[in-house]
Structure 1
Amino acid sequence: MPGPASPKIVVTGATSIIGYFLLPRLVNAGYEVHAISRNRREKPGETDKKVFWHPVDISHPDQLPRINAQALIHLAPLWLLPPLLPILSSFQIKRVIGFGSTSLFSKAKSANDGEKQLVARFVTAEEDIMCRGSALKMNWTIFRPTLVYDCVHDKNIAVIARFIQRYGFFPLLGKALGLRQPVHADDLAGACIMALDQPITFCKAYNLSGGETLSYRRMVERIFNSLGKSVRFLSIPAWLFRSAIRVIMLMPGKRNMTPEMALRMNVDLCFDHTDATRDFGFSPRPFLPCWEDPKE
C-alpha cells in the first residue's frame, strides 16, 4: 500500500536566490514542491525528484496550473501577486506568503523617478494584497527583507565582491557610516518554513533584517577580508560620485544604478525584526560572507 501523499506547495519565482535555498528546505520538510518560473534552472539538484517545474509566465495569471496545494510562496516581484489571488482562491489555496522589500520605506523620499515608481508599486501591491486577501478570506503574510545576499547571485554583496576582485579597491562616498543589516537568502527561506503554518502570522507584514548591524564601510571591509584582500578604499566627493554614476548608468546592464545609491552609503537603513522573532522564531545569522556554495 502506498503511503499518504505529500502535501503540495507552489513556489512562484522559484529560480530566485531565495528559491535556491527554499526548495530544498520544503522538500526536507516533506512537501511536494511545484516550482513556477519562466526559466527552469539549468542544474537540477538531488532533491528534484520531489520538485515539479512549470514553465509559466505569472504575469498572465490564467497560465497558473491548477494544483491542489496547501499554500503558495511568492518569490517573484510582489506586484505580480494580487492578480493571482482570485485564481488561487478558485483553486482553494488560502495560505499565501509574499516578499516585498524595506525599500518601501528606505526609498520613499528618493529623488530618483525610477525608485519612486518602485516604492509606489510596493505600496499598491501591499494594499491590493490586504484588500483582496481579506475579501477572499485568504491568510496572507508579507515579508519585507533588508539587503538580501547569497554571495553568488545577489545584486548587493556579490556585486561589491566582484568589483573588489577586479579592481582591488572600492569607492566610498565620504565616510560611508550609514548602518546596514544584510540578511542571507537562506534565513529568508527558513522564515517561510517557520511562518507557513503559524496562525499568528496570518494577515500581517514583517520586516526581516539580518542578525547584525554594521556600517556600510565595515560591511565592505568584511567583504575585503573574506576575499583575502587588503582593505583599500578610494574616498570620492559627492559631486564626482554623482557624475561617475551617471556615466556608469550608460553602460550595458548598469541602468539600475543611481546617484541615490551612493548617497545612501551615509544613511542608516535599519529595520527591527523583533516581531518576526516573537511570532515565529526568526533568528538570522550575523554578516559572515562566504564564497563557497554551502550545498557543495
Structure 2
Amino acid sequence: MHSMTNVLVTGATGFVGRAVVKELLEREHRVFAGSRQGEAVGGARGLKLDATDLSSVMRAVGEASPEAVIHLVGIIQEQGDQTFARVHVEGTRHVLAATPRGARYLHMSALGAGDIPDSRYSVTKAEAEALVQGSGLNWTIFRPSLIFGVGDDFFGRVLKDLVSAAPVVPQIGDGRFPFRPVSVEDVAQAFVTALDRPETAGHIYPLTGPQEFTFRELLDLELAALGKKKPVVPVPLALMNLGVPLMQMLPSPPITRDQYAMLKAGNTAPNDEARQAFGLPMHRLQDRLGQIVQGR
C-alpha cells in the first residue's frame, strides 16, 4: 500500500500542518516537518524551511530527499513583508522549483480561489494554483472551505470574538451567505490518502463538510456552544462597507478586508467527489464546537 516513505510537509507547525503530520506518522511515513523555526512536530523531524526564500527551500528538500511534498504554507492576513503575493505565489514557485521531478506534490489552496476579485487572498491562491498546474509535477490540489477543529482560527477565535465582544452580536447583512465547514481530520485524511491514490493526480478537489450553514446559523451555533444568549443584530452591508476599512487602523482588526470579502462571498461546494475519492468520515461541526470554543 505504501510505496512512499519520505514526505516533506511545509507549514508543518500550523493548525492543518500538525494534523497532516499526525496522520502521516500514523500511516508510518517518514515525515520531515518544514517550518520557519524548524521545530519537530510529534515524531517528525523538524527542518528549517522559509517558503519565501528559495535557498532555504532547496536546503530542506536536500535534507529530506522527499518522494512526496505536501505544501501547506499560507497566511490569512498580511504582516510586513509576509504578503499574500510573497507567501502564496513566490512561496509556491520556490517549493515547486525545489520538488524532485518524480515526486508527488499535494497543494493546499482554498475554496473560491480566484472567484473573489476584491480578496488578495483569493486572487493569490488562484495564481499559485496556476503555477502548480503548469509545473509538470504529479500534483493534486485541495480547496478546503472553513476548516474547524481545536485550535482553528475561525471558530476558535474570529467567530468567538465576534459573538463575545459586545452585548449584541453583529450579523453581516442578511446573514444568508452559505458555508460548508470541514473538519481538520477530514482535510488531513484527504491529503494523506491521496499519496496512496495515484489516480487522484491532476485533479482539484473541493474539501467541504457534511452540512451547509448560513452565516446566521453559524452565529447561533457559536452562541449556543459558548452558553450565551444575546440578541443578533443585522448590520447593513452599506455600513459594514464603511466600517471594515476603518477597523484596519486598529493594531489587530477584528476582521480584515479580505476576511470580509470572503464572508460576503460565502464558501460552499458539494463534498461527494472528495468524500468518495478519499473515504472521508465527514465529522460534524455541531459535535466539535463545544471543544473548539473551550480550546481543548
TM-score, with structure 2 as normaliser:
0.82
TM-superposed deviation, 1:20: 2.1
The answer to whether the Cα contact below 8 Å between 2:5 and 2:29 also exists between their aligned partners in 1 is: yes
The answer to whether the Cα contact below 8 Å between 1:69 and 1:93 also exists between their aligned partners in 2 is: no
User: Counterpart of 1:53?
Assistant: 46
User: Counterpart of 1:16?
Assistant: 14
TM-superposed deviation, 1:55: 2.0
Distance in 1, matches of 2:266 and 2:122, equals: 18
Tell me the amino acid that sits aligned with residue 76 of structure 1. Answer: V
User: Counterpart of 1:81?
Assistant: 92
Aligned in 2, Cα 1:107/1:263: closer, same or farther, shift over 3 Å? closer
Q: Does 1:128 align with 2:139?
A: no
The answer to whether the Cα contact below 8 Å between 2:183 and 2:282 also exists between their aligned partners in 1 is: yes
User: Counterpart of 2:226?
Assistant: 227
Tell me the amino acid that sits aligned with residue 68 of structure 1. Answer: S
* Greater mean deviation of Cα atoms: 161-170 or 202-211: 161-170
The C-alpha deviation readout for 1:30-62, integer Å capped at 9, x for no partner, is 122111101356xx67xx3x3111122121222
User: Counterpart of 2:85?
Assistant: none
Instruction: Decide which structure has the larger Cα Rg and report it.
Output: 1
The answer to whether the Cα contact below 8 Å between 2:149 and 2:292 also exists between their aligned partners in 1 is: no
1:141 partner SS: strand
1:252 partner SS: coil
Distance in 2, matches of 1:129 and 1:234, equals: 43
Alignment of 1:107-186 (within 5 A): 107-108=116-117, 112=118, 115=119, 117-132=120-135, 134=136, 138-155=137-154, 158-186=157-185
User: Counterpart of 1:285?
Assistant: 283
Gaps of 5+ in 2: 75-87
Aligned in 2, Cα 1:259/1:216: closer, same or farther, shift over 3 Å? same
Aligned in 2, Cα 1:75/1:264: closer, same or farther, shift over 3 Å? closer
Distance in 1, matches of 2:263 and 2:154, equals: 16
TM-score, with structure 1 as normaliser:
0.82
The C-alpha deviation readout for 1:54-78, integer Å capped at 9, x for no partner, is 1221212222321222211111035
Distance in 2, matches of 1:33 and 1:247, equals: 44
Give the superposed CA RMSD. Answer: 2.8
Aligned in 2, Cα 1:68/1:262: closer, same or farther, shift over 3 Å? closer
Pick from 69, 72, 85 the counterpart of residue 72 of structure 1.
Answer: 69
Pick from 74, 97, 101 the counterpart of residue 106 of structure 2.
Answer: 97
TM-superposed deviation, 1:263: 8.8
Distance in 2, matches of 1:259 and 1:101, equals: 13
Gaps of 5+ in 1: 1-5
User: Counterpart of 2:36?
Assistant: 38
Distance in 2, matches of 1:257 and 1:294, equals: 24
TM-superposed deviation, 1:259: 8.6
